[in-house]
């Protein structure tokens, strides 16, 4: 096997060598536990799928607590540069303090690398305990805008000059004089741009066009209340659908006005739903939705809600995509109370690795991971989160689950 080489890009196309160098961030909290369990699974999957002709050369990059300890910085510039240069990477969760302290490193990475689409496929694996009667109906992919919305980090703490200046601007210059209560106020700004919206919605529509089992793309917004931000997201989303795809994409209005609700087999249908309604629709009309495209905060809430239906955060994968760039990461956070206990479920990270492999065109390795993982779950050899809801299950540690997945491959 040759030594590792970088993934390169030519004309927006990735060139993947047989031994690509892939940077990884272990992550805070349970990050070290799940990485230790998942990495051997990734290596074994590549070995099994390609019989030794391909391999990954992993290179660790630092972020979070480990980076702080070793370099004095939470997100060293070298980490950002290495991830940018290598194009494809994978990360564990990073802790963000609430109310004070540093801003989210996860958000910073997505913004600095312009990974504008956070994609979270939520699909059911047979045998997983779920609170739903028909969990297999859940097969949705959420596309969450990753670089703007209230996550842009434009906010002022109560009592600061900045907060008072913004209050004065809103009250005096814009005439909203009764809108903000007197006394201390924290203020944030929610930018939603045409550019950010359209590139995200394009990704969602392209995904639906490329996948035969995905016909509906739903724009999820709160545009009835936030008219000029979430409402604009909806309007710009429809503009993309109507102006850029010809007959390949129709809207829900056209579907009912011209086709009595019967979608053409080869077209994608774009519709929209208000976010609060959508949170119930994913439970009550699960099989009617395929791809959901939405602003940042809606995407954060909705992907966790979808994940709950297929067994919870222990098995909910995700990845962030930019132009010729991918950083895979599970949906869950650093679950600090379980850190170092070799306890939590590493499936979400393993399935995030599948997304990374698929992006590289290594679909066979991705399939091998799914086979090994599904077989282990069907043998009822599972971590605590599944064991507590699965009669007759054998409780495995995080690392034991990883070993079982490897044993069950191929």
Binder of ligand NAP out of 118, 146, 286, 345 (CB under 6 A): 345
Q: How many CA atoms lie within 13 A of 273 on its CB side?
A: 19
Query: Distance between CA atoms of 179 and 195, rounded to whole angstroms?
Result: 30
222 is catalytic: yes
362 versus 401: smaller Cβ distance to ligand NAP: 401
Which two structure tokens, joined as six digits, stand for 273? 């739903």
295 versus 314: smaller Cβ distance to ligand NAP: 314
Which residue in 222, 238, 272, 385 is the catalytic one?
Answer: 222
3-class secondary structure for 343-395? Answer: CCCCHHHHHHHHHHHHHCCCHHHHHHHHHHHHHHHHCCEECHHHHCCCCCCEE
Distances (CA, A) of 333 to 7, 337, 369, 373: 28, 11, 22, 21
Asked if 402 and 32 count as a contact pair (C-beta separation under 8 A), the reply is: no
Query: Distance between CA atoms of 288 and 76, rounded to whole angstroms?
Result: 44
Query: Distance between CA atoms of 93 and 6, rounded to whole angstroms?
Result: 24
335 binds ligand NAP (CB under 6 A): yes
94 binds ligand NAP (CB under 6 A): yes
Minimum CB distance to ligand NAP, residue 348 (Å): 6
95 binds ligand NAP (CB under 6 A): yes
Minimum CB distance to ligand NAP, residue 313 (Å): 4
299 binds ligand NAP (CB under 6 A): no
Residues 97-126 that bind ligand NAP (CB under 6 A): 106
89 versus 93: smaller Cβ distance to ligand NAP: 93
Which two structure tokens, joined as six digits, stand for 313? 């955060």
The site string for ligand NAP over 23-42 (x = CB under 6 A, - otherwise) reads -------x---x--------
Contact partners, residue 244, CB within 8 Å, separation at least 6 = 202
Minimum CB distance to ligand NAP, residue 376 (Å): 15
Q: Nearest residue by C-beta to ligand NAP?
A: 333
287 is catalytic: no
171 versus 304: smaller Cβ distance to ligand NAP: 304
Which residue in 116, 124, 151, 207 is the catalytic one?
Answer: 151
29 versus 223: smaller Cβ distance to ligand NAP: 29
Which residue in 18, 276, 287, 323 is the catalytic one?
Answer: 276
Which residue in 300, 342, 343, 385 is the catalytic one?
Answer: 300
151 is catalytic: yes
Binding segment for ligand NAP (CB under 6 A), chosen from 88-96, 122-130, 186-194, 214-222, is 88-96
Give how far the C-alpha of residue 343 lies from the chain's centroid of Cα atoms, to the nearest Å: 23
Binder of ligand NAP out of 203, 290, 329, 387 (CB under 6 A): 329
212 is catalytic: no
For the chain, what is the largest distance between any 2 Cα atoms, rounded to a whole number of angstroms?
Answer: 70
Residues linked to residue 382 through DSSP beta bridges, in sequence order: 395
34 versus 163: smaller Cβ distance to ligand NAP: 34
332 binds ligand NAP (CB under 6 A): yes
Binder of ligand NAP out of 96, 215, 281, 379 (CB under 6 A): 96
282 versus 344: smaller Cβ distance to ligand NAP: 344
Which two structure tokens, joined as six digits, stand for 129? 């305990």
Query: Distance between CA atoms of 201 and 294, rounded to whole angstroms?
Result: 8
3-class secondary structure for 165-234? Answer: HHHHHHHHHCCCCCCCCCCCCCEECCCCCHHHHHHHHHHHHHHHHHCCCCCEEEEEECCCCCCCCHHHHH
SS3 68: helix
Minimum CB distance to ligand NAP, residue 217 (Å): 24
Query: Distance between CA atoms of 168 and 179, rounded to whole angstroms?
Result: 12
Q: Which residues are catalytic?
A: 151, 222, 276, 300
Where do contacts with ligand NAP occur on this chain (CB under 6 A)? 30, 34, 93-96, 106, 312-314, 329, 332-335, 344-345, 348, 385
């Amino acid at each position: 096997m040759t030594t590792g080489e970088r993934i390169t890009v030519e004309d927006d196309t990735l060139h993947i060598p047989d031994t690509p160098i892939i940077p990884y961030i272990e992550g805070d909290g349970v990050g070290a536990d799940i990485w230790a369990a998942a990495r051997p699974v990734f290596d074994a999957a590549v070995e099994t799928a390609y019989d030794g002709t391909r391999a990954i050369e992993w290179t660790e990059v630092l972020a979070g607590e480990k980076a702080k300890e070793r370099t004095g910085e939470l997100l060293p510039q070298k980490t950002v540069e290495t991830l940018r240069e290598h194009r494809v990477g994978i990360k564990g969760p990073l802790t963000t303090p609430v109310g004070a302290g540093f801003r989210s490193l996860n958000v910073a990475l997505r913004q600095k690398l312009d990974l504008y689409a956070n994609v979270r496929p939520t699909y059911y694996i047979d045998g997983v305990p779920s609170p739903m009667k028909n969990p297999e109906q859940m097969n949705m992919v959420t596309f969450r805008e990753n670089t703007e919305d209230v996550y842009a980090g434009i906010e002022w703490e109560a009592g600061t000059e900045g907060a008072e200046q913004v209050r004065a601007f809103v009250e005096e210059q814009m005439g909203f004089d009764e809108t903000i209560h007197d006394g201390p106020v924290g203020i944030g700004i929610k930018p939603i741009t045409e550019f950010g919206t359209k590139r995200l919605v394009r990704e969602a529509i392209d995904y639906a066009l490329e996948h035969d089992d995905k016909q509906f793309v739903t724009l999820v917004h709160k545009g009835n209340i936030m008219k000029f931000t979430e409402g604009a997201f909806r309007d710009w989303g429809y503009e993309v659908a109507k102006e850029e795809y010809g007959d390949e994409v129709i809207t829900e209005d056209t579907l009912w006005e011209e086709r009595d609700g019967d979608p053409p087999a080869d077209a994608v249908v774009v519709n929209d739903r208000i976010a609060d309604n959508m949170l119930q629709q994913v439970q009550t009309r699960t099989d009617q939705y395929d791809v959901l495209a939405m602003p940042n905060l809606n995407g954060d809430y909705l992907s966790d809600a979808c994940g709950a239906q297929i067994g919870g955060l222990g098995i909910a994968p995700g990845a962030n995509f930019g132009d010729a760039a991918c950083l895979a990461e599970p949906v869950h956070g650093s679950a600090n109370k379980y850190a170092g206990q070799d306890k939590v479920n590493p499936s979400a990270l393993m399935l995030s690795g599948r997304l990374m492999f698929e992006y590289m065109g290594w679909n066979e390795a991705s399939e091998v991971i799914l086979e090994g993982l599904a077989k282990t779950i069907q043998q009822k050899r599972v971590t605590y989160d599944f064991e507590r809801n699965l009669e007759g299950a054998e409780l495995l540690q995080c690392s034991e689950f990883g070993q079982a997945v490897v044993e069950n491959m191929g």
